[in-house]
C-alpha cells in the first residue's frame, strides 16, 4: 500500500529531510537573513532621517497648534502662562481671520491660471526640443533650465527691478508706447508674481517631460511615420498620451508649490502697498510666528495649509485616475 506512506531513504529517520536538502534549506535561510539585514541597514538611516526631518516636525506643529499663551493682569501685563491647552481655538481663530482665508482664495486663483500656462509652456518646449528636426538641443535645453538654478529670492529681486517705475526699462518702454502699465498695482501684482514663478520653473518641468519622452521606444515613432502620420499627429496621439504620468507629476508638484507661495510676495512686499502681511497663507503664518510672536496660531495655520495641500493633491490624483480608467474602459 502506498496511500499515506511517505518514501524515505534507507537509514533516514521518519520526519527528517535528507542531509543535502536540509543543507540547502539552511543555506537559503542564511542568505535570506543576510538579505534582510542588508535591507534593514539601508532602510534604518532613511527611516531615522524621515522621522527626524518629516514626522517629528509635523507632530510638533500639531502639538503647538493645540496650545496657547495666557496672560494675566491689567492689559495682560501681569505675566504669562505658556503652553496652556487651547483645543481647536487656534484653528477657529485662523479660519475667522479674513486675511488668512483671502490668501487661500488668492493662491487658488493663482494656481488655476499659472499652473496650466506653465505646464503648457513646458510641454511645448519639451516636444520642440525632442522633435526629429530640432537643432542646438543641448544649448536650448540648458538655456531654458538656467532660470531654475536662480534662487527664488534672487529671481524676485531681479524681476522687482523690472517692475518698479522709474527703474524698469519695461515700464519706460510701455509708457513710451502710450501704455499705462503698473506691474505692482493691486490688480496686476498677482500676475507679476505668476510671471516670476513661470519663468523660474518652466525649465524644470520641461526636463521632467523630456526624461519621460526619452523613455518612449523609438519604434513607435518609426511605425507612425511609416503609416503616414505627420509630426503633429505623432505629438498629439503618441507623445502626449505616453507622457501623461510626467504631466500628472509636474502638475501635482506645481499645485503644492503654489500653495506654499512665499518668497516672491515676501521680496516684493516692500516695493508695493498691494501686498499685505496675509497675502498668501504661508506669508500669513510667517507673520503670525515672527512678527506677532504667536507661534501657536502660526502652527494652526501651517497645519491647515498642509491639509488643504493634501486634499487638493490627492483629489487631483483621484480625478486623473478616474479619467484614466474611464478612458481605458472605453
Residue 72, beta-bridge partner list: 79
Mean pLDDT split into 10-residue runs, the chain, 330 residues: 47 50 55 81 90 91 88 58 80 92 95 96 93 80 93 94 90 89 92 96 96 89 88 90 94 95 95 93 94 91 94 93 63
Neighbours of 87 (CB within 10 A): 10
Question: What's the pLDDT at 326?
Answer: 60
Question: What's the pLDDT at 330?
Answer: 46
Give the three cell numbers for residue 99. 486675511
Rounded distance between C-alpha atoms, residue 251 and residue 315, angstroms: 12
Question: What's the pLDDT at 274?
Answer: 93
Alpha carbon 264 to its chain centroid, in Å, reads 17
Give the CA diameter of the chain.
108
Residue 67, beta-bridge partner list: 85
Alpha carbon 231 to its chain centroid, in Å, reads 32
Residues in the chain: 330
Torsional class of 117: left (φ above 0), alpha (ψ -120 to 50), beta (otherwise): alpha
Contact criterion met (CB below 8 Å) for 297 and 278: no
Question: What's the pLDDT at 37?
Answer: 82
Instruction: Report DSSP state, residue 167.
Output: T
Rounded distance between C-alpha atoms, residue 285 and residue 300, angstroms: 8
Question: What's the pLDDT at 324?
Answer: 67
Question: What's the pLDDT at 81?
Answer: 61
Residue 71, beta-bridge partner list: 80
Rounded distance between C-alpha atoms, residue 210 and residue 86, angstroms: 50
CB neighbour list of residue 113: distance below 8 Å, 6 or more residues apart:
191, 194
Contact criterion met (CB below 8 Å) for 233 and 153: no
- What predicted TM-score, i.e. pTM, was given to this entire model? 0.82
Q: Which residue has the cell 543555506?
A: 27
Rounded distance between C-alpha atoms, residue 105 and residue 99, angstroms: 10
Question: What's the pLDDT at 3?
Answer: 47
Q: Which residue has the cell 474602459?
A: 329
Amino acid at each position: 500500500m502506498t496511500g499515506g506512506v511517505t518514501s524515505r531513504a534507507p537509514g533516514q529517520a521518519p520526519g527528517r529531510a535528507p542531509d543535502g536538502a536540509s543543507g540547502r534549506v539552511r543555506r537559503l535561510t542564511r542568505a535570506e537573513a543576510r538579505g534582510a539585514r542588508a535591507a534593514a541597514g539601508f532602510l534604518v538611516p532613511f527611516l531615522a532621517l524621515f522621522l527626524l526631518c518629516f514626522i517629528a516636525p509635523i507632530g510638533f506643529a500639531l502639538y503647538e497648534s493645540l496650545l496657547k499663551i495666557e496672560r494675566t493682569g491689567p492689559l495682560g501685563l501681569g505675566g504669562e502662562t505658556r503652553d496652556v491647552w487651547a483645543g481647536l481655538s487656534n484653528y477657529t481663530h485662523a479660519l475667522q481671520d479674513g486675511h488668512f482665508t483671502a490668501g487661500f482664495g488668492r493662491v487658488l486663483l493663482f494656481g488655476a491660471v499659472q499652473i496650466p500656462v506653465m505646464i503648457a509652456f513646458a510641454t511645448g518646449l519639451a516636444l520642440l526640443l525632442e522633435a526629429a528636426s530640432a537643432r542646438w538641443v543641448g544649448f536650448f535645453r540648458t538655456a531654458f533650465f538656467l532660470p531654475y538654478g536662480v534662487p527664488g529670492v534672487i529671481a524676485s529681486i531681479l524681476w522687482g527691478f523690472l517692475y518698479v517705475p522709474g527703474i524698469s526699462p519695461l515700464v519706460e518702454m510701455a509708457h513710451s508706447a502710450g501704455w499705462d502699465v503698473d506691474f505692482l498695482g493691486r490688480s496686476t501684482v498677482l500676475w507679476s508674481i505668476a510671471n516670476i514663478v513661470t519663468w523660474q520653473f518652466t525649465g524644470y518641468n520641461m526636463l521632467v517631460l523630456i526624461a519621460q519622452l526619452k523613455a518612449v521606444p523609438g519604434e513607435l515613432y518609426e511605425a507612425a511615420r511609416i503609416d503616414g502620420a505627420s509630426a503633429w499627429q505623432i505629438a498629439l496621439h503618441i507623445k502626449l498620451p505616453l507622457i501623461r504620468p510626467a504631466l500628472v507629476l509636474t502638475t501635482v508638484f506645481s499645485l503644492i508649490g503654489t500653495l506654499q507661495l512665499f518668497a516672491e510676495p515676501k521680496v516684493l512686499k516692500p516695493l508695493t502697498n498691494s501686498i499685505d502681511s496675509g497675502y498668501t497663507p504661508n506669508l500669513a503664518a510667517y507673520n503670525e510666528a515672527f512678527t506677532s510672536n504667536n507661534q501657536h496660531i502660526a502652527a494652526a495655520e501651517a497645519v491647515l495649509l498642509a491639509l488643504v495641500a493634501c486634499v487638493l493633491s490627492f483629489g487631483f490624483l483621484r480625478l486623473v485616475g478616474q479619467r484614466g480608467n474611464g478612458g481605458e474602459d472605453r
